[in-house]
């Protein structure tokens, strides 16, 4: 159907991926979720960032694979106020269910 993209493509050639990341270190109370949302918005990604009970930040980001990879690379440093100890990632099936990147509470 014209104008309708499948769940894994944007247009004709762009592969859409989704990644789930857990960021550990000093990442809560330092603006990490807001920084991540700004970076994701700049990359035109969808998804979310939220604090988890164990002091980590969970991030899911979806969009063109190059943009998702760029965000994951940025997560390893984080904002100047954060100290990132580790970023663990895994690929997940793209949802295609949102149009924004949200900060969840």
Q: Would you name the residues annotated as active-site residues?
A: 33, 51
Q: Do 63 and 44 form a contact (C-beta atoms < 8 A)?
A: yes
Q: Do 21 and 59 form a contact (C-beta atoms < 8 A)?
A: yes
Beta-bridge mates of residue 19: 61, 91
**Three-state DSSP state, 39:** helix
């Amino acid at each position: 159907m014209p104008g309708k993209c499948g769940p894994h493509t944007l247009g004709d050639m762009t592969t859409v991926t989704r990644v789930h990341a857990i960021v550990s270190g000093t990442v809560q109370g330092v603006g990490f979720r807001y920084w991540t949302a700004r970076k994701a918005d700049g990359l035109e990604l969808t998804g979310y960032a939220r604090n988890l009970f164990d002091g980590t930040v969970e991030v899911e980001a979806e969009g063109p694979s190059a943009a998702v990879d760029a965000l994951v690379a940025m997560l390893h440093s984080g904002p100047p106020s954060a100290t990132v100890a580790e970023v663990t990632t895994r690929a997940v099936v793209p949802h295609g269910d949102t149009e924004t990147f949200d900060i969840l509470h």
